[in-house]
């Protein structure tokens, strides 16, 4: 399994995060694993995911996601906002724009049973370290889910990843 760190680019208030993983699964299988809430709950969190552009996407995990689907072009591109409304007054101004807290998955078919999944997120700098570590953690879980049909809980992995990013940033 890839241990490549999520790339974190930019200066100022905003960072662009990107990570990718190649999984041994057909593209349609990966598409359903990232867009069907009944599957997403195994590697990410419980939640609801709408079926089309304009529908809500809600995840009941730590960094509560409550956004809107903006692009859904099966089986290639799935994109959504993280928040539709300002979450907390302490957050940077840009996060209050619904279009600016963006998460995009795109999928590329590498073979009949091999797919490249790429994640891109624009993130405020204050949460970038946690988000980068979070995507590494989640992509490893996604690959494990696709390869084995289940995910073993690995206590402390997210915290270790976060520590690596914090060291890299400083």
Partner 1 sequence: MADTRLAVIDGAGDVRRMTLATTFDATIERVWQAMTTIEQMKIWWPDWQPGGILEPREGGRIVLGDGSWIDGAIKVWAPPNVLEFTWKEAPENGDWFEPRTKSLLRVELVALAKSQTALTLIQFAPEVAVVGGTAGWHYFAGERLKCLLEGGTLDDRPERFDELVALYAGSESSA
Q: Specify the 3-state DSSP secondary structure of 6.
A: coil
Closer to partner 1 by Cβ: residue 42 or 109: 109
Closer to partner 1 by Cβ: residue 14 or 87: 14
99 binds partner 1 (CB under 8 A): yes
To partner 1, the closest distance from the beta carbon of 153 in angstroms equals 32
Q: What is the DSSP string of 100-137?
A: GSEEEEEEEEEETTEEEEEEEEEEEHHHHHHHHHHHHH
Of 36, 86, 42, 78, the closest CA to residue 61 belongs to 42
Site for partner 1 in 109-128 (CB under 8 A): 109-111, 116, 120, 122
d(CA 119, CA 6): 9
Tokens read off for 82? 């993280």
Binds partner 1 by CB under 8 A, chosen from 5, 14, 37, 45: 14
Contact set with partner 1 (CB under 8 A): 9-12, 14-16, 53, 70-71, 73, 76-77, 79, 97, 99-100, 102, 104, 106, 108-111, 116, 120, 122
């Amino acid at each position: 399994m890839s241990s490549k760190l999520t790339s974190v680019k930019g200066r100022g208030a905003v960072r662009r995060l990107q990570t990718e993983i190649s999984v041994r699964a057909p593209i349609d299988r990966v598409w359903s694993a990232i867009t069907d809430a009944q599957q997403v709950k195994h590697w990410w969190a419980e939640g609801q995911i709408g079926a089309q552009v304009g529908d809500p996407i809600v995840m009941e995990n730590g960094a509560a996601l409550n956004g809107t689907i903006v692009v859904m072009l099966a089986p290639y591109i799935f994109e959504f906002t993280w928040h539709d409304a300002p979450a907390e007054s302490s957050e940077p101004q840009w996060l209050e724009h619904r279009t600016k807290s963006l998460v995009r998955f795109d999928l590329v078919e590498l073979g009949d049973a091999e797919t490249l999944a790429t994640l891109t997120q624009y993130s405020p700098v204050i949460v970038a370290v946690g988000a980068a570590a979070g995507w590494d953690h989640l992509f490893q879980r996604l690959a494990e889910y696709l390869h084995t049909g289940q995910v073993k809980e690995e206590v402390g992995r997210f915290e270790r990843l976060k520590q690596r990013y914090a060291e890299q940033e400083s």
